[in-house]
Chain A
Amino acid sequence: DTAVSQTPKYLVTQMGNDKSIKCEQNLGHDTMYWYKQDSKKFLKIMFSYNNKELIINETVPNRFSPKSPDKAHLNLHINSLELGDSAVYFCASSLHRGLSSYEQYFGPGTRLTVT
């Protein structure tokens, strides 16, 4: 049983296109995240939602727009894709309560390549 799932696993697209990545978790968590891991392997948080409410919004171009229809789903839409957007995007989830929020469960990642 997959705990945190993401689709698609691979995404190859051209500059200027718009694409979406979807994430779902069946762990009963109330908080979900989007992370970006670039070619240098740095893993950086982009957004976090708690019960459909945006709680973390790091310095990310506004071409990136997250949406959480419910606490088990978090999507990421990217407009006007650029070469620098090529990276692996990880979804994660956790409980919101205190120290439990640090114990995050990650999805398998979406490897985005912009050509």
Chain B
Amino acid sequence: RKEVEQDPGPFNVPEGATVAFNCTYSNSASQSFFWYRQDCRKEPKLLMSVYSSGNEDGRFTAQLNRASQYISLLIRDSKLSDSATYLCVVPPKGGYNKLIFGAGTRLAVHP
């Protein structure tokens, strides 16, 4: 099993839609989780951090399910500008500085 697995997509949704991505991880000892966003031909940027059961920031909600070892990212009221690849990141336990990136889920929001 890969350390971090994501559905590669693409998810094609209309503006205003709600879309959710899942990410599964293999290390049950992982404590912190992150979503990074990467626009086409750009650098990754931190979107959200998840240290407990979840986090919410405006239209974005991240939830953690430790029992099933997955985290999800929910985007409400999708905007054209949300089109990007969303990278799930799970650091190894105790491995400060080291990030393990998933392959990413591509989202395309259309008018």
- B residues less than 8 Å from A101 (CB atoms): 96-97
* Contact yes or no, A41 B98, CB < 8 A: no
* Contact yes or no, B97 A99, CB < 8 A: no
Instruction: Confirm or deny: B60 has a beta carbon within 8 angstroms of a beta carbon on chain A.
Output: no
Q: Which of A14-22, A65-73, A103-111 contacts B (4 or more CB under 8 A)?
A: A103-111
Q: How far is the CA of A109 from the CA of B91 in the complex (A)?
A: 22
* Contact yes or no, A102 B103, CB < 8 A: no
* Contact yes or no, A55 B101, CB < 8 A: no
Q: Which residue of A lies closest to B51 (CB)?
A: A99
Question: Within residues 30 to 50 of chain A, which ones have a CB less than 8 A from any CB in chain B?
Answer: 31, 33, 40-45, 48, 50
Instruction: Confirm or deny: B1 has a beta carbon within 8 angstroms of a beta carbon on chain A.
Output: no
- B residues less than 8 Å from A25 (CB atoms): none
- A residues less than 8 Å from B32 (CB atoms): 99, 102
Name B residues whose Cβ lies closer than 8 Å to a Cβ of A: 32, 34, 42-46, 49, 51, 85, 87, 89, 91, 96-99, 101, 103-104
Tell me the minimal C-beta distance from B11 to chain A in angstroms. Answer: 16
* Partner of B85 from A31, A41, A56, A107 at Cβ < 8 Å: A41
Instruction: Confirm or deny: A52 has a beta carbon within 8 angstroms of a beta carbon on chain B.
Output: no
Tell me the minimal C-beta distance from A110 to chain B in angstroms. Answer: 11
* Contact yes or no, A102 B43, CB < 8 A: no
By Cβ-Cβ distance, the 10 closest A-B pairs, closest first, are A106-B43, A43-B101, A101-B97, A101-B96, A106-B44, A48-B97, A102-B91, A108-B43, A103-B46, A109-B43
- Give the secondary structure class of B's interface: loop
Tell me the minimal C-beta distance from B80 to chain A in angstroms. Answer: 22
- A residues less than 8 Å from B103 (CB atoms): 40-42
Tell me the minimal C-beta distance from B7 to chain A in angstroms. Answer: 14
Q: How far is the CA of A56 from the CA of B99 in the complex (A)?
A: 11
* Contact yes or no, A102 B44, CB < 8 A: no
- B residues less than 8 Å from A99 (CB atoms): 32, 49, 51
- A residues less than 8 Å from B85 (CB atoms): 41
* Contact yes or no, B51 A41, CB < 8 A: no
* Contact yes or no, B34 A43, CB < 8 A: no
